[in-house]
Amino acid sequence: MEIGELLREKILRVQEYVLLSVEAIVNLFRRPLYLDDIYTQADIIGVGSLPIVILTGFFTGGVLALQSSATLSEFGAKSITGQLVSLSMIRELGPVLTGLMVSGRNASGMASELGSMQVTEQIDAMRALGTDPIKKLVTPRVIATVVMLFFLTIVSDTVGTLGGGMVGTTMMNLDASQYFHTSYQALAYPDVLQGLIKPLFFGLIIATVGCYYGMSTKGGTRGVGHATTQAVVTASVLIIAVDFVISRLMLGIFGG
């Protein structure tokens, strides 16, 4: 395949993805809303992802406390371990790691589920019956993922800070009261805002990427496997790239 043809194909795929995403967002303002589907997806995405998000957040906070406390003690600044853990979790690690965990679990699930429906012509049957597949299949997943990732990120931040405190007080001889006071006092409005804006974009990326690869699956069961892999890889890369962009914009607006 020539470079020009390959580039044209990639541009067309990006265009298809953007059009699907825009249509899914526009459908938020059109009836019907398929509330039952939204609740079902919220349960699958939110409640189903809760155990892995809690475990990831707890051990991430614990590792942060363990590493930062050992390093800071060399400079006599062991007391600000809580500040470092809370800022790291809320501004960066909480949203990003939660997004990546949910991406690995749910972007793949969406791609495989919709891909199976595509190759078995169930989506074509929906169109023949007059049902908009994007309205029925994509929009509920977008709403559920954005909303639930927002709350999952809050859970991850909280559990990560608590995990850092538990590790710090039991293994690094930190004062629990001092740890939690510095964790809370170090947070400013821009830090919390940055940590809560990111999951909204990450949720949109996870849902739209997973649904796009599912809806565009070709080639039978082998195509479903390929779409599932591509969905996870693409969503993960986009999450990290968008995280950089948002962080840079927030630093430009609010400063360091």
Amino acid symbol at 183: S
Residue pair 205/100 in contact (Cβ under 8 Å)? The answer is: no
Helix axes 139-171, 3-26, angle to 10 degrees: 90
pTM over 0.75: yes
pLDDT band at 173 (very low <50, low <70, confident <90, very high): confident
Distance from C-alpha of 56 to C-alpha of 39, rounded to nearest angstrom: 25
Q: pLDDT at position 1, please? A: 58
Distance from C-alpha of 18 to C-alpha of 11, rounded to nearest angstrom: 11
Phi (first) and psi of residue 131, to 5 degrees: -100, 130
Chain-centre distance for alpha carbon 182: 28
Q: Does pLDDT of 220 surpass 70?
A: yes
Q: Does pLDDT of 54 surpass 70?
A: yes
Distance from C-alpha of 89 to C-alpha of 161, rounded to nearest angstrom: 7
Q: Does pLDDT of 241 surpass 90?
A: yes
